[in-house]
Amino acid sequence: MNVPSLQFLGFVAVAALLLGISPKLAWRRGVLLGANVAFLLSFAHDPRRIGPFLCLLALGFAIVKALEGRKNGVAFAASLAALLLGFFVLKQYAFVPHPLILPFVYATVGMSYVFFRILALAIDTYQGSLDERVSLVSYVNYTLNFACLVSGPIQLYADYRRTEIEPAPLDAPIAWRAVERIVLGFFKVAALSPLFGRLQDVALAGVVPGLSFADRTAHAALLLIVFPLYLYVNFSGYCDVVIGAARFLRLELPENFDRPFRARGFIELWSRWHITLSHWLKTYVYSPLFLALMRRFPSREAEPWFGVGAYFVTFFIIGLWHGQTATFAFFGVLLGLGVSVNKGYQIVATRRLGRSGYRALCGQPVYASLSRGLTFFWFAFSVLWFWSSWSELGRVAATLGTGAVVLGCLGTVAVAAPVLFTLDALAAHLAAPRMLARRIVASPYLRTAFATTLAVTVVSVEILLRAPAPHIVYRGF
C-alpha cells in the first residue's frame, strides 16, 4: 500500500471507525493489531515474503523478554550483536558475506525504522527505564504501527504505550487541524515534490558538453539547490500526512521537522531535520559515547573536544543507516564533518569571544544570514551522495569544469543566505501576536479556503491526471 495515497486514507478511515466501536483497551489493541498486520501484508503478494521480517520481530521480542529484570552486561552485549547481525543480513549490507544473503525476495519496507524501535526498546528494557513488562500485543503494535511503519517518525515505546492506554484527544478543532495537515502533506508530496523532482531531472539532463560558462555555473548551482528542497517537501509532506492521519487513530506521533532551513549551523539543522532520528541517535549513541569518553579520560580541558568526536561518530552512523554501500559511508563522513567542524568552531569562538560575545556575533544579521547560507550549502553538498553515484558525479563535474563548479557552490551560498534570512524575518513578522497579517492568516475562513484549494489540486493530480502514487524517498529504508 502506498503512503500517502487515497487508499491509505481509506484504510485509516476504516481503522478509525472500528476503533470508535468500543472504548475498551482490549478492543483498541485488537483493532490496532489487525490493522498493523494487514498493512504489513499489503507489501507482499506472497505472505511468505514477510517471513524474514517476522523473524527480526521475533528475535527482538525474545531479546526484550530475556532482558526484563536482568542486569547481565554480557547477555546484553550478545543480544545487541545478534540484533545487529540480523539487521545487516536482512538489509544486505555490502560487507555481509554472500553465503549469508537470503536467496529470495522478501519485504523490507520500513525495516530500518522497525530495527531502531526494537533496539531502543531493548536498551530501555536493560536499563530498567520501562514501568511495566512488554506484552506481545503491545510489542507488535509498537514496532509495526502502520501509521509510521514505512518511513517513521521513530517513536519510543513509552510514548507509544501512553497513547495506546490513554488515547489522544480528538475533538472537532483537533480533527480539523489534522485534516488541514493531511491536505498540506498531500500537496507537498503530490504537487510540489514532482515539480522539484522534474526540475532536478531537467538540470541533470542539461549537463552536456558545449555549454557556456554561465550556463555551466547555473547548472552547478541548480543541482545543489533543488534536491534539498525536493527532499524536504517529499519527506516532510509524508510526515504531515501520517501525523495527521494518526490523530484519527487517537495516536500522537512525534514531530519530525521544524523549519530546518532556518538553522544557523549544521548541528541546529539536524535538531530540525528528521528530528526523531537525531533524537534517537543522541539518546542511544552520542550521549553514552560522550559520557564514556569523559569517564575514561577525565579532563575539563579536553571535555568539549570529546563532543566533537562523539558528534562525528554519531553522524557517520546516520550515513551508514541510509544505505548499504561505500557511497553512504562517504555520505556519513560528510555529515560527521559538518557537525564536528560546527562543534569545533563553537568551542574555539566561545573561548576567544566569551559566551556573551559569541551570542552577540550570532545575533548579527549579516553573520546569521551567512551562517544559514553555509549550512544550506553543506547540507546540499552532502546529499549529492544521497541521490547520485561517484561515476555520475564525476561525469557532471568533468562536464561542468572546476571553475563552474566552484562558482556554483559560491552562488548557492550567495542565493541561500539572503533568501533564507528574508523568509525567516517574514515568518517572525507574521508570528507577532498583534500583527494584522497574523490574524488574517489565522482566520478559519482563509484556512478553510486554502485547504480546499490544496485539496482540489491534489485530487486533480491524483485522479484527473491519473498520476501514479507519489514516490517517498525514505520509503527505501
pLDDT in tens, 13-42: 999 999 999 999 999 999 999 999 999 988
Assign 209 a pLDDT band (cuts: 50, 70, 90): very high
Say which residues have a Cβ less than 8 Å from residue 50's Cβ, sequence separation at least 6.
40, 41, 43, 44, 106, 107
pLDDT mean across residues, the chain = 88
| In the chain, % of residues over pLDDT 90 | 63
Assign 3 a pLDDT band (cuts: 50, 70, 90): confident
What span, in angstroms and rounded, lies between the C-alpha atoms of 279 and 286? 10
pTM, two decimals, is 0.91
User: In 3D, which of 229, 230, 222 has the Cα closest to residue 203?
Assistant: 222
What span, in angstroms and rounded, lies between the C-alpha atoms of 384 and 397? 12
State residue 216's pLDDT score.
94
Phi, psi for 242 (deg, rounded to 5): -75, -35
Count of other CB atoms within 10 angstroms of residue 144: 22
151, 235 in Cβ contact below 8 A?
yes
| In the chain, % of residues over pLDDT 70 | 92
Sign of CA dihedral 51, 57, 60, 66: negative
The residue extents of the domains of the chain are 6-165
Show the cell assigned to 195: 515539480
What span, in angstroms and rounded, lies between the C-alpha atoms of 64 and 75? 11
Strands (E), 197-281: none
State residue 477's pLDDT score.
63
pLDDT reading at 306 higher than 70: yes
191, 293 in Cβ contact below 8 A?
no
Whole-Å CA distances, 418 to 82, 261, 370: 50, 12, 8
pLDDT reading at 451 higher than 80: no
Lowest-confidence pick of 55-59, 89-93, 234-238, 298-302: 298-302
pLDDT reading at 438 higher than 60: no
